[in-house]
Structure 1
């Protein structure tokens, strides 16, 4: 279908390597240096993420952080840690899960709510767009996004425009994938994660 073909062009091809962690894969990609630097140098953040493996990370690109550099510079360590944790969900959520469900409400490690939706031919996370899907490795999956998720950007799935699909993520077993296309109907995790319905600690937001 046309919208799936469009998403295929947006999603970069990433070949999952089981022996590589999602952190290593993000570092090798080259677009997530600011995120990785913040995660590794903000006390407690990396430990919190690894303690909740497998996880789904909605990772802002370097450009996304650059767009709000003044805001980030004004955050103290505690506030920055909260913002970073707001991009991470326990359990694995693949692009296919979101496309199948239409819209899901998730609770991040910080306690903040996220709306991950498939609407108007693209996958969104609050006010950001997923630009690179299913970077999959040991520890879960990363989806690249074009905006940093900030407080106050959550809206419930019920607020989506009429005609959008809504619902929970269906029960699916763990899956392997060699692709990262948003349109993939066979995508999934090559690491130890599972789909959202059975991933560790995966939850629907209230």
Structure 2
């Protein structure tokens, strides 16, 4: 087992720090961190957990229709932003190994409930874990198993959307 910390966005992710402390250091998660602050979810994600966070990288937010992020960051977008962000969080700690086992045990597809209340579906495509949202959008885990003091983060390439 290596003592080296995983690096996300050029910054080492200290497993002794919580999800918010680490994410705010990663250059590829700046949009997510700004969104978490706009939705006032820092306290939640800095909580005890354990949490599994499917963290959209900046490129994931850039795939959204133009102006979407700006609208969500406004005060009137806070409720929708909160729904979207909490849809990326599962109230359990699931490493990629555990996720792959759940997918295999369930015959190739495993649904998990998010803290937003709706489910996301986990599948495998080749060696990659794929997360499918309520609207059928698929996000691929681009960096798995970034251990935090209060859970684990898997970086994804697409923003997940709840049904509404």
- Please give the TM-score of this superposition, normalised by the length of structure 2: 0.76
The answer as to 2:118 corresponding to 1:112 is: yes
Match of 1:53 in 2: 49
TM-fit CA distance, 1:52: 5.9
What SS does the aligned partner of 2:67 have? Answer: helix
Alpha-carbon separation, structure 1, partners of 2:148 and 2:48: 15
The answer as to 2:14 corresponding to 1:17 is: yes
Is residue 25–residue 135 contact of structure 1 (8 Å, CA) maintained in 2?
A: no
Q: How do 1:1-206 and structure 2 match up within 5 A? A: 13-14=6-7, 17-43=14-40, 45-51=41-47, 53-68=49-64, 69-75=66-72, 76-102=77-103, 103-126=109-132, 127-152=138-163
Larger CA Rg, structure 1 vs 2: 1
Question: Structure 1's 51 and 39: CA in aligned 2 closer, same or farther, altered over 3 A?
Answer: same
Match of 2:135 in 1: none
Is residue 98–residue 118 contact of structure 1 (8 Å, CA) maintained in 2?
A: no
Question: Structure 1's 37 and 19: CA in aligned 2 closer, same or farther, altered over 3 A?
Answer: same
TM-fit CA distance, 1:51: 4.2
Unaligned runs of 5+ in 2: 104-108, 133-137
Is residue 57–residue 87 contact of structure 1 (8 Å, CA) maintained in 2?
A: yes
What SS does the aligned partner of 2:161 have? Answer: coil
TM-fit CA distance, 1:147: 0.3
Deviation per CA, 1:150-185: give whole Å up to 9, x if none. 1349xxxxxxxxxxxxxxxxxxxxxxxxxxxxxxxx
Unaligned runs of 5+ in 1: 1-11, 154-206
How many aligned residue pairs are there? 141
Q: Which has the higher strand share?
A: 2
What SS does the aligned partner of 1:31 have? Answer: helix
TM-fit CA distance, 1:16: 5.9
RMSD, aligned CA: 2.3
